[in-house]
Structure 1
């Protein structure tokens, strides 16, 4: 019997004796604890963390002392107390059977004990990333190209010895992340708890989010779990329970039905939703099980999770896309009178101020380049990109009747433009926003093409006095490069 329990009994007995002598309470010791029992269950994927939930009848202010019976425990570290909720204990990482004893103490009642056996069937967590074999992880930096990066370097690991770890460098953006892309799906259907060794140099709470992307089930949602590191410097182990805590990722976060599935990609956000720059280490990501092979839809040797052109064969040096092609000439110079034009980008006119040519919620890369002495905007691996003219840059296009943009692409089968007006309040989602879009398909590839349409074709665009956003899409989504020039509104 543990000393902790003996001490509890002594204190209980002394309190009863003192009460009897000083107050002569009638019925002292007359209560009886009955029906004492407990359940013991494994509460983690390895089986070594066991939860005990005791119940009984006939007592008041009942306190349960749970002796988990671990002979390797130091002192009373395997003895826990509870007033009823489940208490847990982590056994050694081995299969073994233990005698668990629960003792119930209640007011005016003699203690009662019950013992049952519990067998820990230990199963080591599946290693997702120990960073010893970098090539197998297909690590990727933040897709914005100006945020988090990850490299593998030898550092002093959590166990105190040299180890390869993932070194993540944050620049301080609110939602910067890196990704791990295995050749097989990560299956969290039956084993849904993941652990991650995490190192931070300063003693601060850091929000860390793990996100699974690319569900095997058609139209399945991405899911995520957020936790916080403790405010200590050095290594610590973080736990992510997708079975209990997972939520659907944006833009499906309002859907409360979470489906555990097989996923292609594991994304790691350090400093999620906060602007936290710095260098952090991750190591020994473990949990879940190994699923089926991640597909390679276009059979180009680049798995879909990192292939930016999934249906078009390319090469690994270009993330599965064909070599980027660009025009060698400039588009035809516009001839509309400047007095009739509001130009966002064109050598032929004076441009208005554009807040950004790539919002942080865009999906695709952006660069500026000069081709044939002509400046152009280039979007590669384009899914969608937001171009904003917000704040003082809002555009009053009330007198404009048309929109024009010249595009060039060697692979796009479709190009779409959406125009968004923020309404009279000049703010996003203020209740008076309106928007419309126009899709162009079937145009020639490998040459300049003019996208030239009446604004009346943008069904739903009710106002034109506070235009704040232009959203461009390339199709197939995420698999095309698009060059644009001469982007303007006119009448």
Structure 2
């Protein structure tokens, strides 16, 4: 079979050459092909994919047939044709030497051949995620927001044998992803091609984006590569070449300089920027290398890439944050006269209408709780949370102070910004004013009452149309803060 194949490739090449005359015979050519040669190079990080680029002079409409000389090839799989551009072939995953033969044919010219040896030095790619050891991957998804999920299950892998794979269920969000967080950085500084086996139930072209996040160098950008599945069902292998195809991720996508670095997280979007739903399998994410250890800044045994409280020691069970503790008592009840108070939130007074206690642009979790039969508001993982009274702004022009009670187990700073929308009652209408107050040094683990003079909010020139109240805390994204008795008074 192999010998028969070797005799066929010349006919295959000749079939695309137009003969100038029917009576032309071998040896009667009016032109000749000279200086036939070729280069052979490895074109992937493992060494097993080899590219051949042939060149010659003297021929017209020259076509090259490249026989990669793989005795284990099925049929003519190792024979490629080209008019000059590089052609590639993937050998078996083993180190071996092969005789590569290039044959050139051209109009009215005798065929010419040249043979060279090429040694494949195979180097297996580094396994970044084969899903056999789920614990080492620290997988994350968006199940808490009813988004994409990934589970490790036993399925028939690409080679047809049962193995553990990642089963991804996409819910149709434009930008939903699962994340692999190894304890070591993914290093693409020298080897920069990452491949991933991918299974789809139906034949479709699906955009799949791989992003590397958390650069090890200060100021380094996340980078990403977009691939597209072929429209076939079943298993296929996707390739992401970060040395050739990477772009910087949003919001740095317009910066053209790409820095190949070490990254904390590997992030995969299936159906990137499209409403793709369905179940997909992923396996054998391979390539690059494993570099530096991902830091554990607070030394709590939770690496920074999955630690929700990077600077505060916590527990594995609570995502690296301290176990939440609640106050056991209620704050002291207010005693101001109701006639002198405008209350946003307090059992002691009649509250004004509040549109929301957590705007959609807030960076915080929010819930309502009851402590010692007293309702309170709780913000966790707090960076900032917006409270709004936009439907009916507050006229606090006669008020002199704002009061708020807070209880926190870990906040080191608390801040409150107050925004007046002006007479037009609209955000950014040209007459908005705002001011902010921050405070540190307060006690943790007990209720603390703050009474801030409104004069302490520089920039809050007007107080007749208050509409926004932004609560902030440090550590950023880690603080937990209970609030109660939030009101203005005079």
TM class by smaller structure: 0.7 to 0.9
Distance 1:142 1:281 in 2: 17
- 2:6 pairs with one of 2, 5, 8: 2
Q: What's 1:351 paired with?
A: 353
How far 1:338 sits from its partner (Å)? 9.9
Asked whether the 8 Å contact 2:185–2:262 carries over to 1, the reply is yes
Query: What is the match of residue 153 of structure 1?
Result: 153
1:67 touches 1:80 (CA, 8 Å); kept in 2?
A: yes
CA displacement at 1:105 relative to structure 2: 3.2
Q: What displacement does 1:64 show?
A: 2.5
- Residue aligning to 1:440: 438
Q: Cα 1:165–1:367, aligned 2, differ >3 Å: closer, same or farther?
A: farther
Task: Note the residue ranges of structure 2 that are not aligned, 5 or more in a row.
Answer: none
Select the structure of larger CA radius of gyration. 2
**Contact between 2:353 and 2:392, CA under 8 Å: does it hold in 1?**
no
For 2:87 and 2:45, locate their aligned partners in 1 and report how far apart those are by CA, in whole Å: 17
SS of residue paired to 1:94: coil
Matches within 5 A, 1:339-488: 348-354=350-356, 357=358, 359=360, 364-382=364-382, 384=383, 387=386, 407-415=406-414, 438=436, 440-444=438-442, 445-446=444-445, 447-450=447-450, 457=457, 473-484=472-483
Contact 1:435 1:458 in 2 (8 A): no
**Which residue of the partner structure matches residue 78 of structure 2?**
78
Partner SS, residue 307 of structure 2: coil
Could you give the per-residue CA deviations for residues 429-454 of structure 1, whole angstroms, max 9, x where no partner exists?
x9999997746241523334548585
Residue 414 of structure 1 contacts residue 439 of structure 1 at CA under 8 Å; is this kept in 2?
A: no
| Contact kept? 1:416, 1:437, Cα under 8 Å | no
State the SS of the aligned residue for 1:111: strand
| Distance in 1 separating the partners of 2:177 and 2:461 | 35
8 Å CA contact 1:440, 1:451 repeated in 2? no
**1:174-205 Cα distance to aligned partner (Å, 9 max, x none):** 22222222222221111111111222333333
The answer for unaligned runs of 5 or more in structure 1 is 22-27
1:241 paired residue number: 241
**Structure-2 change in CA distance of 1:182 and 1:104 (3 Å):** same
User: What is the deviation of 1:77?
Assistant: 1.2
Displacement of 1:151: 2.3
Does the C-alpha gap of structure 1 residues 94 and 216 become closer, same or farther in structure 2, counting only changes over 3 Å?
same
Superposed CA deviations along residues 290-324 of structure 1, whole A, max 9, x for unmatched, are: 21222222222222222222222222111222111
Aligned-pair distance for 1:41? 1.5
Q: Taking structure 1 as reference, are residues 340 and 395 closer, same or farther at Cα in structure 2, changes over 3 Å only?
A: farther
Task: Give the stretch that moved more between structures: 396-405 or 281-290.
Answer: 396-405
Change over 3 Å in CA distance of 1:307–1:246 after alignment to 2:
same
SS class of match (1:15): coil
The answer to whether the 8 A contact 2:419-2:460 is kept is: no
Distance 1:408 1:256, change over 3 A: farther
Match of 1:170 in 2: 170
Q: 1:267 maps to what in 2? A: 267
Residue 227 of structure 1 and its aligned partner are, at CA, apart by: 1.9
Is the 1:34–1:57 Cα contact (8 Å) retained in structure 2? yes
Alignment partner, residue 24 of structure 1: none
Structure 1 residue 95, shift from structure 2 partner: 0.7
**Total equivalences in the alignment:** 476
Taking the aligned partners of 2:268 and 2:402, their CA distance within structure 1 comes to 40
Instruction: Between 235-244 and 135-144, report the one with greater CA deviation.
Output: 135-144
Deviation at 1:59, TM superposition (A): 3.5
> Are the aligned partners of 1:131 and 1:165 in contact in 2 as well (CA < 8 Å)?
yes
Query: How far has the Cα of 1:92 moved from its partner?
Result: 0.8
Match of 1:276 in 2: 276
Alpha-carbon shift at residue 229 of structure 1 (Å): 2.3
Q: TM-score, normalised by structure 1?
A: 0.80
Aligned to 1:16: 20
Residues 149 and 406 of structure 1: is their aligned pair in 2 closer, same or farther, counting only changes over 3 Å? farther
Moved more, 394-403 or 299-308: 394-403
Give the Cα separation in 1 of the matches to 2:104 and 2:70. 20
Structural RMSD (CA): 4.2
Higher mean C-alpha displacement, 449-458 vs 79-88: 449-458
Structure 1 residues 18, 140: CA separation in 2 closer, same or farther (over 3 Å shift)?
same
CA displacement, residues 409-444 of structure 1 (integer Å, 9 cap, x when unaligned): 221223456789999xx999x999999774624152
In 2, the alpha carbon distance for the partners of 1:104 and 1:164 equals 47
For normalisation by structure 2, the TM-score amounts to 0.81
Q: How far apart are residue 163 of structure 1 and its match? A: 1.4
The answer (yes or no) to whether the contact 1:358–1:385 under 8 Å persists in 2 is no
- Which range moves more in the overlay, 396-405 or 149-158? 396-405
Q: Post-superposition shift, 1:46?
A: 0.6
Of residues 312-321 and 438-447 in structure 1, the stretch that sits farther from structure 2 once superposed is 438-447
| 1:165-204 matches, cutoff 5 A | 165-204=165-204
The whole-number CA distance in structure 2 between the counterparts of 1:455 and 1:270 is 52
Do the aligned partners of residues 5 and 235 (structure 1) sit closer, same or farther apart at CA in structure 2, a change above 3 Å counting?
Answer: closer
- Residue aligned with 2:325, SS: coil
